[in-house]
């Protein structure tokens, strides 16, 4: 591998130069698709395979250890990358089929710089591409799909991990099972290390919770109305509400929404669950456990 024009790792022209040593084996590195790596805020995702036919996904930090030691912003980027590893390590030995599984970690030296990486399950689809490939999914199937994601978030919350970046791109699908991925913006319930800057934008555009918007807009002000800027468990619930809406009808609920905007189903309980998750006040939203309880009634109505 080599350093690309943007200063991040990329593949070398020579195929034999693209490898990592992992689990006492040599794995060859390639792109997941197309001619470039899948890119997130702090990492690049490649495909790796060995001679035995084992295929995984490798997420490689954009930032080297050396660069992080010289630059405060890059130090923070590497810290977020390692936070994701910490979150996946915390759940590694209690596998949940709806959270992408960690295989292991390592590092690679490119030139004079050392880059950390971790290896995880490889999935064939993002949620968006899966739904496009399955346009005839019945409402009951879409509800069941969301329910699995909801249970995956419950599992993370049980370990004190708040995702904070729930969106369609961060849900993968393998063999019809959704798998939550990309914990790069996650935080731990009782963690003393706060990587969030005051006024920082946390989360994806279009999927912001009200408290994430407050943090970005008012946390650097006097905030005389004491607007909530804490992005935690109920922020995940808000993003789950958006995700449920997206799974059901393919767009996002933005601004002032009404029942007439939700055209995927006329079932009043379905809309009611989504609406409760999307309440502006985090205190009024249901917890993940309460949302699961509400889903049980919905399952009954849809014969699940």
pLDDT tens over the chain, length 304 residues: 999 877 889 999 887 889 999 999 999 999 998 888 998 888 999 999 999 999 999 999 999 999 999 999 899 999 989 999 999 999 999 999 999 999 999 999 999 999 999 999 999 999 999 999 999 999 999 999 999 999 999 999 999 999 999 999 999 999 999 999 999 888 866 554 454 555 455 666 789 899 988 888 888 888 888 888 888 999 999 999 999 999 999 999 988 899 999 999 999 999 999 999 999 999 999 999 999 999 999 999 998 8
The model's pTM: 0.91
Q: Calculate helix-pair angle for 210-218, 233-249, nearest 10 degrees.
A: 120
Which residue, 117, 169, 120, is CA-closest to 9? 117
Helices and strands in the chain, H and E counts: 8, 14
Q: How far apart are CA 156 and CA 175, in angstroms?
A: 21
Q: How far apart are CA 3 and CA 10, in angstroms?
A: 6
Counting Cα atoms < 13 Å in the Cβ hemisphere of 282 gives: 19
Tokens encoding 234: 């109920």
Sign of the Cα pseudo-torsion (74, 103, 35, 127, in order): negative
């Amino acid at each position: 591998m080599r350093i690309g024009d943007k200063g991040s790792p990329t593949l070398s022209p020579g195929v034999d130069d693209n490898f990592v040593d992992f689990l006492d084996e040599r794995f060859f590195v390639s792109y997941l698709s197309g001619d470039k790596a899948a890119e997130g805020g702090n990492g690049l995702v490649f495909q790796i395979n060995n001679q035995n036919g084992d295929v995984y996904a490798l997420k490689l930090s954009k930032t080297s250890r050396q660069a992080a030691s010289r630059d405060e912003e890059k130090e923070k980027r590497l810290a977020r990358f390692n936070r994701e590893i910490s979150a996946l390590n915390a759940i590694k030995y209690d596998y949940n089929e709806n959270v992408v599984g960690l295989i292991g970690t390592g590092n690679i030296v490119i030139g004079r710089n050392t880059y950390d990486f971790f290896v995880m399950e490889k999935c064939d689809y993002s949620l968006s591409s899966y739904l496009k490939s399955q346009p005839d999914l019945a409402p009951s199937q879409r509800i069941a799909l969301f329910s699995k994601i909801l249970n995956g978030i419950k599992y993370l919350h049980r370990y004190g991990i708040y995702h904070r970046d729930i969106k369609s791109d961060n849900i993968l699908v393998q063999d019809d099972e959704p798998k939550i991925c990309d914990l790069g913006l996650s935080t731990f319930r009782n963690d003393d290390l706060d990587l969030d800057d005051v006024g920082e934008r946390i989360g994806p555009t279009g999927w912001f919770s009200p408290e994430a918007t407050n943090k970005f807009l008012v946390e650097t002000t006097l905030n005389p109305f004491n607007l909530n800027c804490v992005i935690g468990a109920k922020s995940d619930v808000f993003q789950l509400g958006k995700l449920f809406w997206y799974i059901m009808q393919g767009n996002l609920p933005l601004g002032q929404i009404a029942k007439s905007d939700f055209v995927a189903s006329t079932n009043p309980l379905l809309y009611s669950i989504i609406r409760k998750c999307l309440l502006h006040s985090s205190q009024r939203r249901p917890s993940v456990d309460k949302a699961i309880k509400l889903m049980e009634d919905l399952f009954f109505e849809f014969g699940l």
